[in-house]
Amino acid sequence: MNCKPGDLAYIVVPADWPIKTVDGHVVEVVHLHPTYSAQASDRRPTWWCRFPTPWLNSNGALVSQAYVMDSWLRPISGVPVNDEEPADVNMPEAFQLALGIEMRAWA
């Protein structure tokens, strides 16, 4: 599965799907569909998701929660940050000047 409860994810609607109203929306993944079973080959994992802002579904109803197939979801994750090394180490002079970083003489 792509997601787990509590994840933030964005929706990628398949190219062959005719309705694109939720393509690119960000959602909070809440829980699996109650009837989903990993053993049932005819069922695809589907998540109950919350949308931060309501949207109009294909029936014209304003919706803020809906089931979304796991295969349509891409989790949003942070990039690990490693701040142990100073930012100006081995930075070319042109970049330092462009960024307004004062040049220092290295001993």
Domain regions of the chain by residue span: 8-75
Q: What percent of the chain has pLDDT over 90?
A: 45
Q: E strands, 1-45, where?
A: 8-11, 26-32
Q: What percent of the chain has pLDDT over 70?
A: 64
How far apart CA 12 and CA 72 sit, in angstroms, is 5
This prediction has a pTM of: 0.65
**SS3 for 99?**
helix
- Condensed to tens digits (0 to 9), the pLDDT of residues 32-61 reads 988 766 655 557 889 999 999 998 888 889
Q: Which residues pair with 10 in a beta bridge?
A: 26, 74
How far apart CA 63 and CA 70 sit, in angstroms, is 19
Q: E strands, 17-59, where?
A: 26-32, 46-56
Specify the higher pLDDT residue, 23 or 86: 23
Are 9 and 29 in contact by the 8 Å Cβ rule? The answer is yes
